[in-house]
């Protein structure tokens, strides 16, 4: 048993995007004793701190859960690889750093679904509080938060300008700040870096807080189950170095283990669909049918083009190019290794009558067709000049689920994405790839493109393009909603204060609570959830005094 038994006010499970925020905010008051438990190890690794190093961590077991999802009929029964961060900072330590909050209407939808306090107007102060935007504070942006957000437009490959000009030729507006007044349009992606190094949630929030005596961080500790007294959460059991330990909380346990591990831990602890628990030989503490349900994820499709001019392929492929850029990065923290390969893009509506974008665009002056779809061999691109244009669907309607298959806490849960099971998702992606071709045929891109080599000119009809989508589309790594927030306990897991229905002193605070997937990348809104959750928890302390 742990020697610090009953010594914590709060136990936070998972040092990811939201968990690091909670550890920081809850421990700011020195009277709160906080324990943060993380299954992985340190984030102080070269390839974690180097921005383009996410290509290395993509298949690195030491820092990555390396999940495999089940085959989906809608994607021709292909299984998909789901990397998730297993280290301080969680997935914010191994992601591609693109900083997008989501569409303001997304959050208004959250509130309209029965979640008071979660409208865009309610959440904008948290988005501002969490960030230091490079150009300073304004009506929409924060200027003094822990998370540094960089504008790297002047460092991007010159071909990004061709992409932006191509979009303007198609009457798609330029947007200088997709996190500002409007999300619509194309521009240059902002990224979470500072001084040429990745700005993860661990670097932004956790490292400064670790100096506090009232915050304890335990790494390489795999949580096996939650502990209860009746239906009140009182602690956590975890395994470290082969030894089972238990710790107890005086106030609350907060589950911030992410959209895969949070529902998994609830189910392992007896909270979930009764049929799933019984089949896995887990005693039912509380029947909560929505735990692990409502899984949502963005799907991406890329079209590749050979280039008449030099691209990042030419800088990164030759051995001397790798050496040159490596030395440049080590000495100056600049160059391609200090950036993401997702350099430009934006949000568009592919048809009239839509209230917000339905497609996210990506432009990368690089190509990786010699690797499996989705693999990130960042330092080994194709041995010829090429680029990619990509799309992902903003508001997928397909729903999947996550469930345990045994009571073994070390066994990966079953992930069933159920991709493209809704026809609207297929239609959005079809319209998206048609837009890619229109972009490639503009004067701005046409003058630098030789030809399309994936999927190629033989793919022309709607039927052929849909078949290509089903055979190629891959996850954009944005799983959410498996512990969904909402007013009905029969279809949701937590209420608007993130309290787990039917259980006392237990909350969930991570991307799994999203009522619906946002339009864009999910790291920023996940951090926001940590900020909002910390205020909800601290306000309860004041109320209960």
Residues serving a catalytic function are 478
Name the β-bridge partners of 72: 78
CA distance 357 to 392: 11
Indicate the DSSP class of residue 490.
Answer: T
CA distances from 58 to 96, 213, 476, 525 (A): 10, 34, 13, 22
Within 13 Å of residue 78, how many CA atoms lie on the same side as its CB?
20
Could you give the 3-state DSSP secondary structure of residue 247?
A: strand
Region of residue 281 (phi > 0: left; psi between -120 and 50: alpha; otherwise: beta)? left
Contact 427, 465 (CB under 8 A): no
Distance between CA 205 and CA 190 in Å, rounded? 19
* Two tokens, residue 495: 């209420």
Whole-angstrom Cα distance, residue 453 to residue 458? 10
DSSP-assigned letter for residue 412 = P
CA 415 vs CA 57, 401, 497: distances in Å: 21, 6, 27
Locate the DSSP E strands across 428-471: 449-454
CA-CA distance, 206 to 44, in Å (whole number)? 12
Nearest by Cα to 54 from 185, 192, 189: 192
Rounded distance between C-alpha atoms, residue 431 and residue 437, angstroms: 10
């Amino acid at each position: 048993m742990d020697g610090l038994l009953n010594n914590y006010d709060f136990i936070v499970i998972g040092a990811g995007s939201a968990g690091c925020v909670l550890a920081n905010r809850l421990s700011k008051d020195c009277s709160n004793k906080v324990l943060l438990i993380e299954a992985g190890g340190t984030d102080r690794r070269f390839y974690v701190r180097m921005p383009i190093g996410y290509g290395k961590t993509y298949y690195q077991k030491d820092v990555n859960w390396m999940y495999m999802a089940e085959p989906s009929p809608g994607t021709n029964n292909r299984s998909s690889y789901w990397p998730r961060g297993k280290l301080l900072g969680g997935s914010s330590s191994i992601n591609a750093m693109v900083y997008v909050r989501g569409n303001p209407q997304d959050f208004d939808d959250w509130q309209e679904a029965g979640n008071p306090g979660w409208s865009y107007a309610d959440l904008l102060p948290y988005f501002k509080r969490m960030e230091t935007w490079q150009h300073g504070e304004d009506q929409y942006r924060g200027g003094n938060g822990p998370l540094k957000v960089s504008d790297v437009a002047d460092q991007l490959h010159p071909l990004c300008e061709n992409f932006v000009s191509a979009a303007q030729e198609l009457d798609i507006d330029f947007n200088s700040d997709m996190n500002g007044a409007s999300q619509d349009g194309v521009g240059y992606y902002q990224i979470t870096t500072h001084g040429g190094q990745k700005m993860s949630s661990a670097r932004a929030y956790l490292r400064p807080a670790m100096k506090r005596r009232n915050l304890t961080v335990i790494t390489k500790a795999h949580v096996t189950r939650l502990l209860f007294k009746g239906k009140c959460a009182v602690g956590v059991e975890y395994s470290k170095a082969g030894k089972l330990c238990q710790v107890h909380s005086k106030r609350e346990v907060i589950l911030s283990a992410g959209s895969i591990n949070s529902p998994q831990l609830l189910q392992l602890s007896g909270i979930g669909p009764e049929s799933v628990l019984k089949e896995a030989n887990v005693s039912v503490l509380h029947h909560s049918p929505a735990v692990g349900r409502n899984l949502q994820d963005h799907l991406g499709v890329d079209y590749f083009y050979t280039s008449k001019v030099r691209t990042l392929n030419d800088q990164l492929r030759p051995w001397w190019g790798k050496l040159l850029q490596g030395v440049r990065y080590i000495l100056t923290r600049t160059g391609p290794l200090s950036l993401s390969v997702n350099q430009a893009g934006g949000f568009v509506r592919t048809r009239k009558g839509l209230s917000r974008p339905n497609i996210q665009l990506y432009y990368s002056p690089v190509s990786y067709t010699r690797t499996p779809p989705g693999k990130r061999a960042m330092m080994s691109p194709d041995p010829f000049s090429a680029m990619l244009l990509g799309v992902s669907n903003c508001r997928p309607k397909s729903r999947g689920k996550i469930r345990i298959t045994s009571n073994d806490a070390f066994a990966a849960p079953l992930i069933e994405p159920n991709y493209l099971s809704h026809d609207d998702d297929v239609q959005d992606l079809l319209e998206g790839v048609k837009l890619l071709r229109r972009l490639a045929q503009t004067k701005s891109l046409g003058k630098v493109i030789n030809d399309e080599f994936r999927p190629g000119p033989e793919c022309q009809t709607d039927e052929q393009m849909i078949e290509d989508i089903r055979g190629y589309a891959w996850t954009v790594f944005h799983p959410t909603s498996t512990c969904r927030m909402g007013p009905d306990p029969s279809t949701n897991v937590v209420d608007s204060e993130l309290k787990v229905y039917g259980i006392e002193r237990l909350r969930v605070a991570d991307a799994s609570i999203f009522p619906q997937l946002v339009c864009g990348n999910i790291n920023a809104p996940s951090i926001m959830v940590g900020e909002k959750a910390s205020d909800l928890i601290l306000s309860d302390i004041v109320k209960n005094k």
